[in-house]
Structures are given as structure tokens and as C-alpha cells.
Amino acid sequence: METATMNIKIKLTEQSRVNQLDPNNISFGTLFTDHMLVADCVNGEWQTPEILPYGDIAYNPALASLHYGQSIFEGMKAFKNEDDEVLMFRPLENFKRFNISAERMCMAQVPEEIFIGGLEELLRIDSAWVPKGEDNSLYLRPFMFASDVYLGVRPSQNYRFMIIMSPAGKYYSTPPKVKVETEYIRAAPGGVGYAKCAGNYASSLYPAKLAAEQGYTQLLWTDAIEHKYFEESGTMNVMFVKDGKLITPAVSTTILKGITRDTLLQLAKSMNIEVEERRVPVAEIIEGIANGSVTEVFGAGTAVVVSPFAAIGFEGRDYELPAITENSLSTRLKNALNDIRTGKVADTFGWVWKV
């Protein structure tokens, strides 16, 4: 697949830092590649993108995004196949979702040639940073923020779009223990829960901190009105295996339309696994864990990929989940996904984008 690319100004670093990358010891989101992409939208017109050495950026204290929160991002990954070629996974879906978030946040639409073309050029330049190895990838972070220097509540007239990249390994070293959140909310109907905006994550930090103090890794968010139905987890969508069926909350204005989520649902259907997208009552799942009809609960997201949960905390009690095996659906889905993303098997879905 190819996309049209705008002219990009390129300034290469004088000294690569790729020797700092240890594929056997990668800490998520702490080491960044040699270069970054920057593109400014000025009064509705996109300027020529630039690829520059990775480094700090300086801004006026009155920067609108710092005060009023117009900031969105995406999470993506690139991989290397056995021929050392760089592969992206479903980048057009991220591009579409990015602009859906931009529309909801009243921000400029980013052209495909800047988003996809910029990713391709950046990956060509920093291809040596894509780590090989099981569970390894290069995490791609496109983001955009309001760049007006103005104190006043209105949409910015100017925006900065950037892409940075960071080597990534396995997100969780052990299966997370999660808590059902029934007091605080992540999103409300009609809000921005379906947009990948910075504020969604900021509002989740305090309840997540409280849960961490109780020994939990993540939260399982429930609906804002009754706290009776599952929505998603802190860094991922959530899926349940009950009576052999794969069940997940239907997307709405309060749930992020995850690309990994959609991928797993399609893979499950291709395996002749029955799939249900619907409202999922907390009581149904807790009862199912207790009586054995619910055999797996796992998260799905770009960073975590497929992350089975060890236990779910609800109303002061921890409900332990069965140990995951090679025959577990979550294992089979993860292996199938990884084999496609890394080019080990034929991509019959048209998901892989070769750089």
C-alpha cells in the first residue's frame, strides 16, 4: 500500500543513539528514536512538514492547549519481518480515528499525506530502531495540540501535529489484577469518551491511583449512570469468554473504538468463535466467574495487545480467573495477531502496510 506524500524537510541527527536500544531490556515509553516529525497548521493551512532530530520543544506560557485541553493522540506499532522489512498494522484505521477525535475536539483535520506519509518517511529514516524479538515493536505516537497563544475559551486557530516513536516490549510482565470501578467515571454519554483525547486519561489518574494503593493494576470502568455495565479498562478495551463465546461491550460515545478490539473480533469470527457485542452486566460476569461459565477476561489494546487478567476485584472481594493456557482463546487470538503483524503468515485481511 502507498499514500501520497507531501514534500518533507529533513534534517538528520549528527549522531544516532540507536546503540542505547537493548532489545532484551525495553522499558515502555522511556527511550525515543533519533527523529520526530513536526507539521504546523496555521490559520487552516498546513505548512511543509519537517523531520528533525528528536528533542525538546519550547512554547509560550499562554499556549492554548495547556489551558483548555485541545490535545489528541493515537497509539500504533511497527514491526520487522524475517526479511528485515518494516511493517505497520492497520495505519489507515488510526488515521481515521485520529480525525474523528479531532472533529470532536474542534481541531484541524490532518491530511492523509502528512499522517501516513510522515509515518512512512520517519520509519524509513529510523528503521534501525524497530526491535526484533517476541513481544517487541516500535510504538508510534502521532499527536496534535492547539498552538494558539491566547487566553480565552474558544477553539484554537492553529495546531501542531507531531509524531514520535519509542521501542516497546511487553507492557505487563504478569497478568494484571483489576478492580471494578463503581464510584468514579471515565466518560458519560454525549461526552468525549470515544475520542482519544488527553483529558480522558487525566481524569482517570486519581481513581487509578486509589486502586493501585489497594493492590490493583488497572480499573474496569462501568457506565456513568448506574455502574451496572462494563465499558472498558484504563489502557484497553475489555473482552470476556463465557460459555465459549467472545463477548465485549458494544462501542458507544463512552467507549473508545479500539482497533485491536476490532481486529480480535474479526479474527475470532474467522475461527468460527461466536461473537457478541452488547451491554455486559457486571453481575453477569461476576456470577460467571463464580460458577465457571466465564473462563477468561482480558484487555485488548495497541500497547498491551492481548492481556489476560489474573483476578477481578468487586465489592471488597477478588474473583480469581483460571490460568491461561496455550489453548485459551486469548492466547490463540494473540498468536494469530502477532503472526499477521510480523509477516509470519499471509495477511488475508489486508491489514499489513509495508513501509
- Which positions ≥6 away from 88 have C-beta within 8 Å? 76, 77, 78, 119, 123, 140, 352, 353, 355
pTM over 0.85: yes
Q: How confident is the model at residue 5 (pLDDT cuts 50, 70, 90)?
A: low
Within a domain: 348: no
Range of the domain at 44: 9-170
Using CA atoms, how far apart are residues 329 and 100, in angstroms rounded to an integer?
Answer: 31
**196 and 146 within one domain:** no
β-pairing, 177-181 vs 311-314, is parallel
**214 and 307 within one domain:** yes
Within a domain: 281: yes
**118 and 13 within one domain:** yes
**294 and 203 within one domain:** yes
Q: Is the pLDDT of residue 1 over 60?
A: no
Q: Is the pLDDT of residue 184 over 70?
A: yes
**330 and 182 within one domain:** yes
**250 and 136 within one domain:** no
Within a domain: 354: no
**34 and 126 within one domain:** yes
**184 and 72 within one domain:** no
**204 and 71 within one domain:** no
Using CA atoms, how far apart are residues 144 and 73, in angstroms rounded to an integer?
Answer: 6
Per residue in 230-258, pLDDT (tens digit) is 999 988 999 999 999 999 999 999 999 99
Residue 171: HSE in the Cβ half-sphere, 13 Å Cα cutoff: 19
Q: Is the pLDDT of residue 70 over 70?
A: yes
Per residue in 104-156, pLDDT (tens digit) is 999 999 999 999 999 999 999 999 999 998 889 999 999 999 999 999 999 99
For residue 339, the 8-state DSSP code is: H
> Is residue 81 left, alpha or beta, with left meaning phi > 0 and alpha meaning psi from -120 to 50?
beta
State how many domains the chain has.
2
β-pairing, 305-308 vs 311-314, is unpaired
Output the pLDDT for position 18: 97
**137 and 97 within one domain:** yes
**Domain holding 40: CATH number?**
3.30.470.10
**192 and 130 within one domain:** no
**65 and 38 within one domain:** yes
